[in-house]
């Protein structure tokens, strides 16, 4: 008998503004029961209803004069998942099934103590296994954990994917299914690029790049986890009869290696520029060591050397880290003799093309720059890796850039001729 982990995302669970609409939860119950009837043992991992986490975060900000306390914010925002699991277990029990809801404490999901962005350390698999052996459907909260001192923690936005993969790995489950509001992983976000194609398979490495570049269909940590522990991971639609979804595979198993497998857009971008700092050794260290110490992840960095022996140094970060990064930058500004700071919170977007095949192909960057220039889209920053190229552009051109690049790299779905 196989163990299956099924994770359902926010829109698949319900809508926080329509609390008494249980249609989606009932559909989840149908799906879970049908798997159990086929002889599988099922662990369900649920997100909070759509808009729940964002609303709870807004509440914390609205009542705090300073940055909201991190521990209490985690205690508040986990309420959304808590609600989802209790509601589904109520439905399953009402239908005469053996089911139980477990929060992170009850499921023994232990994390480190980084509030808001914790990492899972262990899971009490014995308890979940015993329940499964008793034919109970186990419904676990996604997104949350508890640290060793029993404080509630959260795993970062989109973290329920990681909860599901971690549980799948702990239980050595046969497959971890991520049910969401699109039919799988596409060559671009299907909500902004109509011509996007659903992929039947994608390698872990490509998915890692897509996720790290802003394709939020899977949280990056869930992909890292799945790759490291060989978890069979599948993304598919919660709304039944939408096909087989997308399977993640290792590079060895991938037959063809497309030069470009996808185009991604990330609007969660903020930028800070140190103006006219002296172009001498040690400046970057003075800026980026304190930023790293504050656990702020810097994404792109660019240095423009000027004729006067000075340089403008810009870097980008996630919007959520903007105020902390700005505070630190203000403290460093004088030390590095900058002639001021220029900031952009939002209004910019990072567009990336990704593909394993790029490793052995030249000309991808040139094609990307040419396509953007032909469409009058100005490139503000550029960064590259072995299998991706990213350009920062003004946000108003983000969707246009995605569509034009998607076409230029031959990814558009072929229209059926009439």
Contact residues toward ligand ASP (CB under 6 A) are 9-10, 47-48, 53, 80, 142-143, 157-161
CB neighbours of residue 70 within 10 Å:
16
CB 30 within 8 A of CB 200: no
CB of 161 to ligand ADP, least distance (A): 7
Distances 386 to 115, 141, 263, 301 between C-alpha atoms, Å: 33, 37, 15, 17
Q: Count Cβ neighbours within 10 Å for each residue of 159-191 and write b for 16 or more, e otherwise.
A: bbbbbbbbbbbbbebebbbbbbebbbbbbbbbe
- Strand 3-8 versus strand 109-111 pairing type: unpaired
Residue with tokens 């139980």: 100
Query: For ligand ADP, which residue has the nearest CB?
Result: 9
Contacts of 131 (CB under 8 A, 6+ apart): 100, 138
CB of 96 to Mg ion, least distance (A): 31
CB of 63 to Mg ion, least distance (A): 26
- Interface positions with ligand ADP (CB under 6 A): 9-12, 47, 158, 180-182, 185-186, 188-191, 210, 215-217, 262
The smaller minimum CB distance to ligand ADP, of residues 10 and 145, is found at 10
- Sign of the alpha-carbon torsion through 368, 369, 374, 375: positive
Q: Which entry of Mg ion, ligand ADP, ligand ASP, none binds 186, CB below 5 to 8 A by partner kind?
A: ligand ADP
Distances 100 to 97, 130, 278, 345, 377 between C-alpha atoms, Å: 10, 12, 62, 44, 53
The smaller minimum CB distance to ligand ASP, of residues 219 and 254, is found at 219
Q: Which entry of Mg ion, ligand ASP, ligand ADP, none binds 11, CB below 5 to 8 A by partner kind?
A: ligand ADP
CB 18 within 8 A of CB 171: no
List the structure tokens of 225.
């986890």
Residue with tokens 């299914």: 177
State whether residue 68 is helix, strand or coil.
coil
- The secondary structure of residue 137, as a DSSP letter, is E
The smaller minimum CB distance to ligand ASP, of residues 19 and 280, is found at 19
- For residues 386 and 354, give the distance between their C-alpha atoms in angstroms, rounded to a whole number: 9
The smaller minimum CB distance to Mg ion, of residues 211 and 348, is found at 211
CB of 319 to ligand ASP, least distance (A): 14
What are the residues facing 145 on neighbouring strands? 153
Checking phi first, is residue 413 left (phi over 0); if not, alpha (psi -120 to 50) or beta? beta
The smaller minimum CB distance to ligand ASP, of residues 80 and 184, is found at 80
CB of 349 to ligand ADP, least distance (A): 13
The smaller minimum CB distance to ligand ADP, of residues 5 and 336, is found at 5
The smaller minimum CB distance to ligand ASP, of residues 179 and 409, is found at 179
The smaller minimum CB distance to Mg ion, of residues 44 and 260, is found at 44
Question: Using the rule CB under 5 A, is 116 a contact of Mg ion?
Answer: no
CB of 196 to ligand ADP, least distance (A): 7
- Sign of the alpha-carbon torsion through 326, 327, 331, 334: positive
Element (H, E) at 354: strand 348-354
CB of 164 to ligand ASP, least distance (A): 9
CB of 218 to ligand ADP, least distance (A): 8
- Sign of the alpha-carbon torsion through 326, 273, 393, 281: negative
CB of 189 to ligand ASP, least distance (A): 17
Q: Choose the binding region for Mg ion from 38-46, 76-84, 151-159, 230-238 (rule: CB under 5 A).
A: 151-159
Site map (CB under 5 A) of Mg ion, residues 7-46, x = contact:
--x-------------------------------------
Distances 24 to 30, 88, 380 between C-alpha atoms, Å: 10, 10, 42
Among 14, 116, 158, 214, indicate the residue that binds Mg ion (CB under 5 A).
158
CB of 222 to ligand ASP, least distance (A): 9
Which of 175, 194, 240, 185 is closest to 216 using CA atoms?
185
Which of 275, 294, 280 is closest to 339 using CA atoms?
275
Q: Which entry of ligand ASP, Mg ion, ligand ADP, none binds 185, CB below 5 to 8 A by partner kind?
A: ligand ADP
CB 284 within 8 A of CB 274: no
The smaller minimum CB distance to ligand ASP, of residues 47 and 329, is found at 47
The smaller minimum CB distance to ligand ADP, of residues 14 and 262, is found at 262
Q: Which entry of Mg ion, ligand ADP, ligand ASP, none binds 182, CB below 5 to 8 A by partner kind?
A: ligand ADP
- For residues 128 and 322, give the distance between their C-alpha atoms in angstroms, rounded to a whole number: 40
Q: Which entry of ligand ASP, Mg ion, ligand ADP, none binds 145, CB below 5 to 8 A by partner kind?
A: none
**Chain contacts with Mg ion (rule: CB under 5 A):** 9, 158
């Amino acid at each position: 008998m196989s163990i299956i982990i099924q994770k359902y995302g926010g829109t698949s669970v319900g809508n926080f503004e329509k609390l008494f609409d249980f249609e989606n939860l009932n559909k989840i119950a149908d799906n879970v029961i049908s798997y159990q009837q086929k002889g599988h043992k099922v662990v369900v991992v649920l997100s909070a209803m759509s808009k729940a986490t964002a609303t709870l975060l807004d509440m914390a900000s609205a009542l705090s004069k300073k940055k909201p306390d991190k521990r209490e914010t985690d205690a508040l925002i986990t309420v959304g998942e808590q609600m989802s699991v209790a509601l589904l277990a109520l439905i399953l029990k009402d239908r005469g099934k053996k089911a139980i809801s477990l929060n992170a404490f009850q499921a023994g999901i232990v994390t480190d103590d980084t509030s808001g962005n914790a990492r899972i350390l262990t899971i009490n698999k014995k308890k979940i296994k015993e329940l499964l052996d008793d034919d109970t459907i186990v419904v676990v909260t996604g997104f949350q954990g508890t640290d060793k001192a029993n404080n509630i923690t959260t795993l970062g936005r989109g973290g329920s994917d990681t909860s599901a993969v971690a549980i799948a790995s702990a239980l050595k489950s046969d497959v971890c299914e991520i049910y969401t509001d699109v039919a799988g992983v596409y060559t671009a976000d299907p909500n902004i690029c109509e011509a996007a194609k659903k992929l039947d398979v994608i390698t872990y490495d490509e998915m890692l790049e897509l996720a790290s570049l802003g394709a939020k269909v899977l949280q990056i940590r869930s992909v890292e986890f799945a790759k490291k522990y060989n978890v069979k991971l599948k993304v598919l639609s919660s709304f039944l009869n939408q096909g087989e979804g997308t399977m993640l595979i290792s590079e060895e198993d991938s037959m063809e290696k497309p030069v470009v497998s996808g185009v991604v857009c990330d609007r969660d971008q903020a930028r800070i520029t140190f103006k006219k700092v002296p172009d001498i050794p040690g400046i970057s260290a003075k800026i980026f060591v304190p930023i790293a110490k504050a656990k702020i992840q810097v994404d792109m960095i660019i240095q423009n050397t000027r004729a006067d022996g000075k340089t403008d140094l810009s870097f980008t970060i996630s919007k959520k880290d903007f105020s902390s990064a700005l505070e630190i930058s203000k403290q460093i500004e004088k030390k590095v003799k900058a002639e001021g700071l220029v900031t952009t919170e939002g209004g910019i977007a990072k567009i990336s093309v990704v593909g394993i095949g790029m490793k052995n192909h030249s000309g991808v960057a040139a094609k990307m720059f040419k396509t953007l220039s032909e469409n009058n889209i100005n490139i503000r920053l550029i960064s590259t890796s072995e299998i991706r190229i990213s350009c920062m552009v003004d946000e108003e051109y983000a969707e246009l850039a995605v569509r034009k690049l998607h076409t230029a790299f031959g990814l558009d779905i072929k229209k059926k001729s009439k």
